[in-house]
């Protein structure tokens, strides 16, 4: 373990006996050697057989696979993380394709909904509105001295499930586990945060077992001041920290991003991360269609954080290809709950106005597709089954290879399934989804659907930011990440219908995305460290590996 990966535990004397076994960062369980057991007072506290970490992994897998529901599997992995963090990440990293749907979407949504019932041990920090005025003092309670990434939420818009209040803490916990599993961010350098300002979820307000603030959400200036106090305190405690906004309400998310993006090192994954993974998928899809980005006409279902964020990044990429910004935006169209977003409407939120075109009002998605003849449709609406058979068939008549991205999470909110997209298009659709779908065989050809998961982007981007101690996060970094992700998609991937690399390669992909991001950081003068001679080697040197420490060997 290199010096920049050390936990603050390593700056103090190693605990002994039961205290050592109860510390999830230091615990090795049955892997403590006989010599370590004697040196640290562990004799009699463990079964006599000394296991290798691989033997421990096998035992975890056997128990994990006996569970009968995904929520049980989630609880099983959380319990492992709470007692042995190194083993948890060894299991997760070596079985990521199998376990990502459990530790993150879609199962994490169920975990958030049941948070009060499955809560066992606290992880991260819960900063409530009642703590205002003393947040600086509170943050000193967090034991780690070197926090590099904070993922925080206020629980208002969790996936496609709406207001989950304090239960939304499952999202920062899950996101940060992917920072480590996908890009090797040292888990001791991560901090999940729940900013609890109340909830509008009536069921929680009436539930005596609810663990959060049982009150209506704080809004307006009081909310602004509370968030500002936390960000300022976090920056004072950990000057190099990257702050990720996660699952805030639409209006709040856009406002907070604009307020803080040029003041601290921060980004919003729902807006920018989703945009980058969608843009990468689009780049890959266009390798199949053979047509340039600037010739695409795209209709979005959903005009919230994800939809407008994707549109903004696509427009920027079109400008990079020689299009004007006005021309780029003219090719991006939005349908929200009230129909096509057009200039004549008087009910549009500010973030929709730049995509409100001078066009007739059309009440629904099918009408918009028939009128606009798009090459691609992108669903970010959380409207389950909104891409029905008629819509897919219409897209297939318009296009030889229609691009269909059903990106809403969790699976229950997806606009269509992979099977529906492939069968209704007669195998023509280039499909991607936000949550995973199984392979599907149509007329003898097996399609492996791509999952447009943000985990392809944010861990690698975070790695590049951390390794360079970047002062800010910019849209140029997300564009670079998207292009690098698309470049890592092979022809073999495309031939099977997958427009993203295999998750088995995610750590390698994240390293190269980290390099691409780091190059932008240095080019734009935002780095806090000298430029290394070998950028890839520098990035990889910042990637933690889940290996047990030899406690008898001096660091």
Residues serving a catalytic function are 104, 175
Q: Is residue 503 within 8 Å of residue 96, measured between CB atoms?
A: yes
Euclidean distance between CA atoms 433 and 276, whole angstroms: 14
Cα angle at 38 between 32 and 39, to 5 degrees?
Answer: 90
Region for residue 447 given its phi and psi (left: phi exceeds 0; alpha: psi -120 to 50; beta: otherwise): beta
Number of residues that make up the chain? 555
DSSP string, 89-136: HHHHHHTHHHHHHHHSTTHHHHHHHTHHHH--S--SEEEEGGGTT-HH
Residue burial 113-134, b: 16+ Cβ < 10 Å; e: rest = bebeebbeeebbbbbbbebeee
CA 491 to each of CA 405, 446, 471, 488, 530: distance values in angstroms, whole numbers, following the listed order: 20, 16, 36, 10, 37
Record the tokens describing residue 169, joined without a space.
Answer: 């803490």
Tell how strand 450-451 and strand 430-433 pair up.
parallel
Q: What is the CA radius of gyration of the chain?
A: 24
CB 139 within 8 A of CB 235: no
In the block, tokens 């190693």 appear at 14
Burial group, residue 482, by CB count within 10 angstroms (0-12, 13-18, 19+): buried
């Amino acid at each position: 373990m290199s010096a920049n990966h050390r936990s603050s535990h390593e700056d103090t004397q190693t605990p002994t006996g039961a205290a050592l076994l109860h510390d999830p960062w230091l615990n090795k369980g049955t892997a403590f050697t006989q010599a370590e057991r004697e040196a640290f007072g562990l004799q009699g506290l463990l079964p006599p057989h000394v296991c290798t970490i691989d033997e421990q992994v096998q035992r975890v897998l056997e128990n994990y696979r006996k569970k009968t529901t995904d929520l049980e599997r989630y609880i099983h992995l959380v319990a492992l993380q709470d007692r042995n963090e190194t083993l948890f990440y060894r299991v997760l990293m070596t079985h990521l394709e199998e376990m990502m749907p459990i530790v993150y979407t879609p199962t994490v949504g169920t975990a958030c909904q049941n948070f009060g019932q499955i809560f066992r041990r606290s992880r991260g920090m819960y900063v409530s509105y009642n703590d205002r005025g003393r947040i600086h003092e509170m943050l000193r309670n967090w034991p780690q001295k070197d926090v590099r990434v904070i993922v925080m939420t206020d629980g208002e818009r969790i996936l496609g499930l709406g207001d989950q209040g304090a239960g939304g803490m499952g999202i920062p916990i899950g996101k940060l586990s992917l920072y480590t599993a996908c890009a090797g961010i040292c888990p001791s350098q991560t901090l999940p945060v729940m900013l609890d300002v109340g909830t509008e979820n009536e069921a929680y307000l009436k539930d005596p077992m609810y663990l959060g603030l049982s009150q209506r959400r704080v809004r307006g200036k009081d909310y602004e001041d509370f968030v500002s106090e936390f960000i300022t305190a976090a920056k004072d405690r950990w000057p190099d920290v990257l702050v990720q906004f996660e699952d805030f309400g639409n209006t709040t998310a856009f406002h907070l991003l604009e307020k803080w993006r040029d003041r601290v090192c921060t980004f919003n994954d729902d807006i920018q991360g989703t945009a980058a993974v969608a843009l990468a998928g689009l780049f890959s899809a266009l390798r199949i269609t053979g047509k340039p980005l600037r010739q695409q006409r795209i209709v979005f279902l959903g005009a919230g954080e994800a939809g407008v964020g994707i549109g903004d990044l696509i427009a920027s990429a079109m400008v990079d290809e020689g299009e004007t910004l006005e021309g780029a935006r003219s090719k991006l169209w939005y349908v929200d709950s009230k129909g096509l977003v057009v200039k004549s409407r008087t009910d549009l939120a500010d973030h929709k106005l730049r995509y409100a075109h001078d066009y007739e009002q059309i009440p629904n998605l099918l009408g918009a597709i028939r009128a606009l003849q798009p090459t691609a449709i992108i669903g970010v609406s959380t409207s389950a089954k909104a891409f029905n058979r008629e819509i897919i068939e219409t897209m297939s008549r318009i296009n030889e290879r229609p691009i269909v991205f059903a990106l809403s999470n969790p699976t229950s909110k997806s606009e269509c399934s992979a099977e529906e997209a492939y069968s209704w298009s007669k195998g023509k659709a280039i499909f991607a989804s936000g949550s995973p779908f199984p392979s599907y065989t149509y007329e003898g050809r097996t399609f492996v659907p791509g999952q447009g998961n943000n985990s392809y982007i944010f861990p690698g981007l975070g790695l590049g930011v951390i390794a360079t101690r970047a002062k800010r996060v910019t849209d140029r970094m997300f564009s670079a990440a998207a292009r690098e992700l698309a470049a890592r998609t092979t022809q073999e991937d495309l031939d099977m219908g997958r427009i993203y690399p295999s998750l088995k390669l995610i750590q390698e992909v994240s390293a190269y995305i980290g390099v691409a991001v780091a190059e932008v950081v240095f080019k734009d003068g935002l780095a806090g460290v000298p430029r290394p001679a070998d950028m890839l080697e520098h990035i990889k040197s910042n990637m933690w590996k889940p290996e047990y420490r030899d406690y008898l060997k001096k660091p």
